[in-house]
Amino acid sequence: MKCNTFNGLHGRSLPLATGAKLVNPELVVIAEGGDGDMYGEGGNHFIQAARKNTNITLLAHNNQVYGLTKGQASPTSEPGFTTKVQTEGVKISMLDPLTTALSLNAGFVARSFSGDIEHLSWVIQQAIQHRGFSLVDILMPCISFNKLNTFKWYKSRIYKLEDEHWDTSNKAAAYTRAEEWGEKIPIGIFYKAERPPYEDLISALKGKPLIDREYNPQRVSKLFNEFI
C-alpha cells in the first residue's frame, strides 16, 4: 500500500489516529487492529472515539479470537468457545461492536466479511468518505486458532442488508438488525448519519492546521519554568 503508516502499541491505534487527524486534517486517517486490540485492550479508546466523532475510519479485523497470542478468547468470542485458557468454554456474553457503536451515537456503523472482497472494498470506501468516526467491523476467519468461526461457518450465515433496500437512516432498525447473530448474520452499512466531527467543534483548531503553524517552544517556556 502507498501510505504513511505508524505502528503503535497494541490497543492504542485510535488515540494515535485521532492525534494525526487533529494535527493534519488533510490526511485520510485509518486505524486498524484486531478484535482483541480494538474491543479488549483498546475498548475504552473505541468508546471514546465513537463519542468524539473525529473524522477517522476504524477497520477492526474481527476473527473472534486473540490470534497472535495463540488463541485465547477475545471480547467477540462466542459463548461456549473453548480455548487453552477457557477450557470449559467462554462463560460471558459477547461484546457487540455494532450495537455498542450505535448506542454511542457513532455516525457510520458497518460490518463486512473478508470473504467478499467486493462488498468489503465498497464498505471501506463508504467509510472513508463519511465525515466523522466510521466503524467497519470485518468478520474474518483465523485459520490457526479459531476452528469454530470458519469460512464455511460465516458463508452459510452471512447475508447483505443491501439486498433488501436497507434504509441507513433508521437507527432503531439498525440496532435491532445488529442484534441478529446466529443462523443469520447481516453485513452491510447498518447506519449512517452526519453530525459535526470533533475537529469542527474545537476553536483552537480553526484556521491553519497545527502542522503548518510555527513551532516555537519559547512561547511556553515561561510556563514550563514554573514547574522546574
- Map grid coordinates 502499541 to a residue: 9
What stretch of H or E contains 191?
A: strand 185-192
CA distance linking residue 30 with residue 123, whole number of Å: 14
Residues 21, 30, 33, 34: which binds Mg ion (CB under 5 A)?
A: 34
Judged by CB under 6 A, the stretch of 20-28, 34-42, 162-170, 203-211 that binds ligand TPP is 34-42
Residues 69, 125, 129, 176: which binds ligand TPP (CB under 6 A)?
A: 69
CA distance linking residue 196 with residue 200, whole number of Å: 6
- Considering the rule CB under 6 A, would residue 67 count as an interface residue with ligand TPP? yes
Which residue, 136 or 189, is less far from ligand TPP as judged by CB? Answer: 136
The DSSP string of 6-24 is ----TT-HHHHHHHHHHH-
Residues 21, 52, 61, 157: which binds ligand TPP (CB under 6 A)?
A: 61
Contact 210, 24 (CB under 8 A): yes
Which residue, 67 or 107, is less far from Mg ion as judged by CB? Answer: 67
Instruction: Supply the minimum distance, in Å, between the C-beta of residue 12 and Mg ion.
Output: 16
- Considering the rule CB under 5 A, would residue 33 count as an interface residue with Mg ion? no
User: Taking the C-alpha atoms of 121, 125, 130 and 136 in order, what is their torsion angle to the nearest 10 degrees?
Assistant: 20
Binding site for Mg ion (CB under 5 A): 34-35, 63, 67
Binding site for ligand TPP (CB under 6 A): 9-11, 33-37, 41, 61, 63, 65-69, 74, 142
